[in-house]
Structure formats: C-alpha cells, structure tokens
Amino acid sequence: MNRLNDIVLWNCVDSSYSFRLNACCSGAIVGDFMYLVGGYNGQKYANNVSVYDIKKNQLKTIYNPLPGRKYHSITEMNGIIYIFGGIGSDSHTILGDFVTLDTNSSDASMQKRNSQNTPCPRYGHSLVSANNSQLLVFGGIDHNKKFLNDFYICASFSNFFYNWKKIDNPNTPSARAFHSSVVMKGRYMIIYGGIFEKKVLNDVFIFDTVNK
C-alpha cells in the first residue's frame, strides 16, 4: 500500500497459495510478519497459526495442541501475541482461556497462562495492548448470550502470571460485541461501533489508559 497525494493505492498480492479456515479468525502484525490465529470454514476449526512473511510473500504454518476457535481476540505486545476467549471447536463452548504465543522464542507453540480475576468467558469482544505494559478487554457476549460492557485492564505481569482488574467508570461504553478497537499514540483506546442485540451501533469512545 502506497500513499500518493493523499490517495491510498492498494497492491494485490500475487501468490500461489491461500489462507485456509480464515473466516472468524484474528490477526496480529509482529515486525514483518502477520500471524493469523484460529478460524472456521463452516465445518472445521483451525488449530494452527498461519504466519505470513510480508516482505518475502511466503507462508508457513505452526501447529499447536490447543483446540481451534472463532470470534476470539488477539493483540501483540513486545513480540508476544496474546489470545483470549472465543467459541470453541464444539461450536457451543464459550472460552475464557488466556493464551500466549511468544514470537521471540524458538518454541512458537501457544501456551495457556494462569491469571487472576480473569474476565468471564466471552466472544466478539476486543483485546488491545497499550503503553507496552497493559492489556485491555472490553465487551463481547457471554455464555448466557448476554451482551457485556465490562472493562478489564491487566498491568501486572510476573513469570507469565497475569492479574486483571475491572475498571468501573460511569462513562463506559454501552454493552456491545463485534466492535472495532485500536490504540493510538500508545495510550488512547478507541472503540467504534459493534452490535447490541439487533441494533447496529455507530458511536465512538476514547479511553485514556494513562489518565483513567
């Protein structure tokens, strides 16, 4: 993608392969690599990670022992990919496991991690990283099909043990799922849109992770 006179020009990637089971997956960029985790093709769940080398236009697959999933969320911080929640490969179980993939390590398999005060199992939520030191989870749908607007932050890391804290704020966005969320300038979490029951949302919220 190139920017010319404020016009964004896209280039089609010519390749002899295609990503498999990439519906309902989640992706993260680490350096020159794009990692795609999970996915679903209508019949089968992916229990592997697809790694795309952006510069070399090459694809490799990392297999792991964890079950496949869809509608999960992932983010990257300091070379470590964090995965939380989703719907399990039986199409019914709502997952609440917290998983990491350390791209800095030669062992690139995904590992389940212990955490305290972990957000309840959910799917359709957002997970982002901020300030190179925080993880944030917002919204989604739980096992009772309830739309959530709870907000959790994790800023305590010790030997891959994570301590979550629920943030109570009167200005928290309304309950929603399948929204978009990004972090700008390392500290501002921006939440846009999503759905609530049968309603499509188009509002925008900004959360300052430094001045909470």
Give me the percent of the chain exceeding a pLDDT of 90.
55
**Lowest model confidence (mean pLDDT) among 86-95, 152-161, 169-178:** 152-161
Predicted local distance difference test score (pLDDT) of residue 142: 98
Tell me the mean pLDDT in the region 67-96: 92
pLDDT score at 13: 67
Higher pLDDT, 211 or 124: 124
Residue 25 has pLDDT above 90, yes or no: no
Question: pTM, whole model, 2 decimals?
Answer: 0.88
Residue 174's CB: how many other CB atoms inside 10 A?
Answer: 13
Per-residue pLDDT band for 42 (boundaries 50, 70, 90) equals confident
- Give every CB contact of residue 36 below 8 A, 6+ residues apart in sequence: 19, 22, 25, 26, 27, 49, 50, 51, 52
Highest mean pLDDT among 52-61, 165-174, 193-202: 193-202
**Average of per-residue pLDDT values in the chain:** 87
Q: Quote the percentage of the chain above a pLDDT of 70.
A: 87
Residue 108 above 60 pLDDT?
A: yes
Confidence of residue 45 (pLDDT cuts 50, 70, 90): confident
CB 62 within 8 A of CB 103: no
Across 64-78, average pLDDT: 88
- Tokens representing 127? 């997970």
Residue appearing with tokens 């019949």: 43
